[in-house]
Amino acid sequence: MLKESRKLKLEDFGLFEGISETIVTTSQGLSPNAAPMGIIRKHDTTLIRIFKGSKTYKNITTDNFLVANITNDPLAFVRYTFSEVLPEDIQTIYSQEREFPVLKDAQSWVAFECINTKITPYSLVAELRPVMGHVNCCYPKAPNRGLNALIEATIHATRYKMHGEEKYLELINFYEDIINKCGGEREKEALRLLRTYL
Amino acid sequence: MLKESRKLKLEDFGLFEGISETIVTTSQGLSPNAAPMGIIRKHDTTLIRIFKGSKTYKNITTDNFLVANITNDPLAFVRYTFSEVLPEDIQTIYSQEREFPVLKDAQSWVAFECINTKITPYSLVAELRPVMGHVNCCYPKAPNRGLNALIEATIHATRYKMHGEEKYLELINFYEDIINKCGGEREKEALRLLRTYL
């Protein structure tokens, strides 16, 4: 299912009200980038907020375009937080107007134009207008507290790397117990990878 | 898709390795029951552990049968933790060998026979053998930290009700911030409902 339209229903691609944790792919010329980012939906508005200094920030200010990739893979959240996306993880989509990178293994993705971008001293906030969406595969999945805890631990790991405060390490330890108790092998592998970055 | 077999692939219905958070429906005669429960998958074994004193415990020791319903609905986790399932929430499935209740709004469900049940002083542990599975609907869904936090808050709420310790209220407050920041309207409604039970 590949849909090209200004009236895509974001729910069909996995983006619901509140903040959806996705992997955002962007590019500038030949070099694609992937990073975990929240897509914010509130009433009829879809937004993204990106802090200054990242590649995603640079690409979006240049290109005004991004793709939100939907995945439940815990390893994807850790990998793309701390390391570069590999060329073999990327598929290039050619549409009438442009080409752009998506994650091959995403369950689904939505490509957005960034409009009404507001730059503040520390971040940008852009409205997102969906231009194309695709569902690769779809399967039911029960909530897994280990996956959830892995996402929280990854967020605290970036905060720890940024601010160096001990409290973030304590939070990671707190979530580690949940990952070890409730996660599958993939969540535990993601945790081991996360630990290598700390 | 309604599958009846001893060789169901549990992944097709949303139950992966680790602990899947599901709503377990059971019945004893005419009165169905629904309660959030973890389905534990480790290597080739699927297990459930149920603490003494609940209706689910009583039904399983009598009937040796349960259904794991897969849902992402935050309200379902709060409702079925603290109140009885409503007759209109239930659909009765008639198979060759028996009839059993499932949740109408579940994304999918798997019916299990409980075998090799071990009773300990505080709980039972049963192996689960899948006998039938069904997928109602399937859509991609990006992780939402608000939904995750709501599930955690609900777990701590049951612990608070059981032990009355202040630390559980603090954990609920901690997760409340994440629900308010990242959840959609449905997560926030579930949180309001949760608060009414505390």
Q: Which two tokens stand for residue B2?
A: 């309604």
A30 and chain B in contact, CB less than 8 A: no
pLDDT digits (tens, 9 = 90+) for B81-111: 999 999 999 999 998 889 999 999 999 999 9
Average pLDDT, chain B: 94
pLDDT digits (tens, 9 = 90+) for A103-114: 999 999 999 999
pLDDT value of position B4: 60
* B148 to A145: CB separation less than 8 angstroms, yes or no: yes
pLDDT value of position A21: 98
Phi, psi (5° rounding) for residue B144?
-125, 120
Mutate to test the interface with B, among A22, A145, A175 (most CBs of B within 10 A): A145
All residues at 6 or more sequence positions from A11 whose CB lies less than 8 Å from its CB, including other chains: B139
pLDDT value of position B2: 63
When pLDDT is cut at 50, 70 and 90, the band that residue B71 belongs to is: very high
pLDDT value of position A83: 94
Q: Which of B18, B68, B107 sits opposite A182 (nearest CB)?
A: B18
pLDDT value of position A5: 56
What own/partner pairs with CB < 8 Å and gap ≥ 24 does A194-198 have? A194/A78, A194/A82, A194/A150, A194/A153, A194/A154, A194/A157, A197/A78, A197/A81, A197/A82, A197/A157, A197/A161, A198/A157, A198/A160, A198/A161, A198/A169, A198/A172
All residues at 6 or more sequence positions from B81 whose CB lies less than 8 Å from its CB, including other chains: B35, B36, B154, B157, B158, B197
Mean pLDDT of A16-23: 97
pTM of the model as a whole: 0.94
Mean pLDDT of B56-80: 95
Mutate to test the interface with A, among B19, B77, B174, B180 (most CBs of A within 10 A): B19
pLDDT value of position B53: 87
Residue among A106, A128, A109 at smallest CA distance from A117: A128
- Bridge-based pairing state of the strands B123-135 and B45-51: antiparallel
pLDDT digits (tens, 9 = 90+) for B155-186: 999 999 999 999 999 999 999 999 999 999 99
* A145 to B151: CB separation less than 8 angstroms, yes or no: yes
A142 and chain B in contact, CB less than 8 A: yes
pLDDT value of position B172: 98
A158 and chain B in contact, CB less than 8 A: no
* B12 to A139: CB separation less than 8 angstroms, yes or no: yes
* B141 to A183: CB separation less than 8 angstroms, yes or no: no
pLDDT value of position B1: 54
pLDDT value of position A2: 63
Mean pLDDT of A117-141: 94
Whether the per-residue pLDDT at A146 is higher than 60: the answer is yes
B38 and chain A in contact, CB less than 8 A: yes
Q: Which of B21, B185, B186 sits opposite A145 (nearest CB)?
A: B21
Domains annotated on chain A, with CATH? 2-135 (2.30.110.10), 145-196 (1.20.58.290)
Whether the per-residue pLDDT at A188 is higher than 80: the answer is yes
pLDDT value of position A6: 55
ipTM of the modeled complex: 0.94
* A21 to B183: CB separation less than 8 angstroms, yes or no: no
Average pLDDT, chain A: 94
The answer for B 43-72 residues in CB contact with A (under 8 A) is 68, 70-72
When pLDDT is cut at 50, 70 and 90, the band that residue B29 belongs to is: confident
Say what angle helices B145-163 and A145-163 make with each other, to 10 degrees: 110
Whether the per-residue pLDDT at B137 is higher than 80: the answer is yes
